[in-house]
Amino acid sequence: MVFFYAIKQVFLKEVFEIKRDITEEILSAAYIPYNLKYYDNVMRETPGMYGRECSLDFIKKKQEKLLKLKKKVKSNYHSKIDKLDLYLKVLEESIIDESDHVELVTFKLYLQLENVVKVTRTVNDLGFRIKTSTYSKERRYTTNDITSIITDSFANVDEDLKMLVQERQRKNYYGNKECF
């Protein structure tokens, strides 16, 4: 529940940033340069100085700028919604089953917890071990082991799950904590 609240908060933050960008752009479109501030008075006094073509060009440029921004916002908005939908779909399918192998469990746990240390603790608590040739014949997983499983491009897991987890791991590793 907390996770979905966090996703919702990040999504709302993105929407507010987009709205702020649109608002700033609209305010700049409504801004009239100083030489056009008294446009009506100037047009009455000297109609040849600021012709109709000049004002139409100014308006057309502002309209084009707003339309470009609208397309950009629309494409960003839809792509982020698609990412969220995919994330939610994969998250619903990430329930750990007893028959899951260690790679799949690791990917599912990372999708849920987004923290290598917590994933390592959980994997070890579930009883997974690495076979060794030492006296004890096995050892617990370390964070380096879990990270190497997550970053493995040939991991034997679903492609959507692998893509989402590896993207999240890269963003977390490099300090970009934004959800999407």
Asked if 147 and 116 count as a contact pair (C-beta separation under 8 A), the reply is yes
The residue among 161, 177, 8, 1 whose CA lies nearest residue 96 is 161
Looking at per-residue confidence, does 90 or 8 come out higher? Answer: 90
pLDDT reading at 30 higher than 70: no
Share of the chain above pLDDT 70, in %: 62
CA-to-CA distance for 135 and 154, rounded, in angstroms? 31
Q: What are the structure tokens assigned to 48, written together?
A: 């040849």
pLDDT reading at 85 higher than 90: no
Q: Which amino acid is at 82?
A: D
| Cα distances (angstroms) measured from residue 138 to each of 122, 124, 172, 176 | 17, 12, 30, 35
Looking at every residue in the chain, the average pLDDT score rounds to 75
Q: pTM score, two decimals?
A: 0.59
Q: Quick one: pLDDT at residue 50? A: 47
Question: 159-173 and 143-151 helices cross at what angle (nearest 10)?
Answer: 130
Long-range interactions of 168-175: CB distance < 8 A, separation 24+: 168/110, 168/111, 168/114, 169/110, 169/116, 172/114, 172/115
pLDDT reading at 89 higher than 90: no
pLDDT reading at 149 higher than 70: yes
pLDDT reading at 156 higher than 50: yes
Q: What are the structure tokens assigned to 98, written together?
A: 């007893």
Q: Quick one: pLDDT at residue 179? A: 53
Q: Quick one: pLDDT at residue 161? A: 92
